[in-house]
């Protein structure tokens, strides 16, 4: 065999092996987190503290980004609708349907993945580098029980709450843009005629799935930190990329499943 295909085969094989290994470890972190949610020790206030860290401190960031997303969405789709449809009466209803089913959850979670994911990985990564995690293991406390479980529970609750708030912000700001840019009256815009229970369930399932994925993926990246400050940087980078990818892939599968379960 000539050297190039051989090297390519080696590279692909090595990549596939490391991906499988990472997937298995990620799965193990997830399962252990679930186990500790049921059987773990209860530390008073830990979940609430994480809820504050994850939720309240992302509030302003999420409000600003979702507000701007709302403006962009309505502005762009208004411009495009103008090209093919004579009037805008369905714009608001379609927008609300899309927000409920997909955009609020997916874009909001992507924003949270960058902020929360980077934060979790940086925090746990610094603990690993300064050997605080080893100290936890020495004291017979599983770092997953102690560090990841509270973030997991807090993230599920706060992602859902923040996504609902973000969707509300995006919709109201979008309504304002519709009124000022395209003269759509707010009453026509705020129509829920196209939103059904299937959209709501899909949106909520997405919230919970993303909320669970972000802390597990970035916690795993944080725990697998090695090396000094450079390692922390690497772990944080990996956490952001992997949790964003996880959201996009989950979105694909949940959207596909929703299309089959709730056909329109």
Residue numbers of the site for other proteins (CB under 8 A)? 61, 64-65, 68-69, 71-72, 75-76, 79-80, 83-84, 94, 98, 101-102, 110-111, 114-115, 118-119, 121-123, 125-126, 129-130, 228-234, 236-237, 240-241, 244-245, 248-249, 251-252, 255-256, 259, 264
Query: By C-beta, is 122 or 156 nearer to other proteins?
Result: 122
Query: By C-beta, is 50 or 114 nearer to other proteins?
Result: 114
Shortest distance, position 58 Cβ to other proteins, whole Å: 9
- For residues 150 and 49, what is the distance between their CA atoms, to the nearest angstrom? 9
Under 8 Å CB-to-CB from 239, ≥6 apart: which residues? 117, 118, 120, 121, 217, 218, 221, 222
- For residues 238 and 222, what is the distance between their CA atoms, to the nearest angstrom? 9
Shortest distance, position 41 Cβ to other proteins, whole Å: 26
Query: By C-beta, is 186 or 256 nearer to other proteins?
Result: 256
For 139-151, give the secondary structure using H, E and C: CCCCHHHHHHHHH
Shortest distance, position 251 Cβ to other proteins, whole Å: 6
Dihedral sign from CA coordinates of 189, 190, 195, 200: positive
Query: By C-beta, is 28 or 193 nearer to other proteins?
Result: 193
- What the block records as the tokens of 15 is 């990549």
- For residues 99 and 166, what is the distance between their CA atoms, to the nearest angstrom? 10
């Amino acid at each position: 065999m000539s050297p190039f295909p051989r090297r390519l085969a080696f590279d692909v094989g090595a990549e596939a092996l490391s991906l499988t290994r990472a997937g298995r470890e990620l799965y193990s972190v997830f399962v252990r987190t679930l186990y500790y949610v049921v059987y773990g020790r209860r530390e008073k206030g830990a979940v609430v503290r994480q809820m504050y860290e994850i939720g309240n401190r992302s509030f302003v960031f999420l409000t600003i980004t979702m507000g701007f997303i709302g403006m962009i969405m309505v502005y762009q789709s208004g411009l495009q609708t103008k090209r093919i449809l004579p009037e805008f009466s369905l714009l608001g209803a379609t927008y609300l349907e899309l927000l409920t089913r997909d955009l609020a959850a997916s874009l909001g979670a992507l924003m949270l993945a960058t902020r929360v994911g980077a934060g979790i990985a940086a925090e746990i990564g610094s603990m690993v580098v300064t050997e605080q995690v080893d100290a936890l293991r020495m004291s017979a406390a599983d770092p997953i029980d102690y560090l990841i479980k509270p973030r997991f529970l807090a993230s599920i609750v706060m992602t859902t709450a923040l996504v609902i708030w973000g969707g509300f912000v995006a919709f109201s700001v979008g309504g304002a843009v519709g009124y000022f840019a395209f003269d759509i009256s707010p009453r026509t815009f705020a129509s829920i005629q196209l939103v059904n229970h299937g959209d709501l369930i899909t949106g909520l399932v997405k919230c919970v799935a993303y909320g669970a994925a972000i802390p597990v993926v970035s916690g795993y990246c944080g725990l697998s930190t090695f090396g000094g400050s450079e390692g922390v940087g690497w772990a944080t980078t990996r956490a952001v990329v992997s949790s964003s990818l996880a959201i996009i892939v989950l979105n694909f599968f949940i959207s596909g499943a929703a299309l089959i379960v709730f056909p329109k």
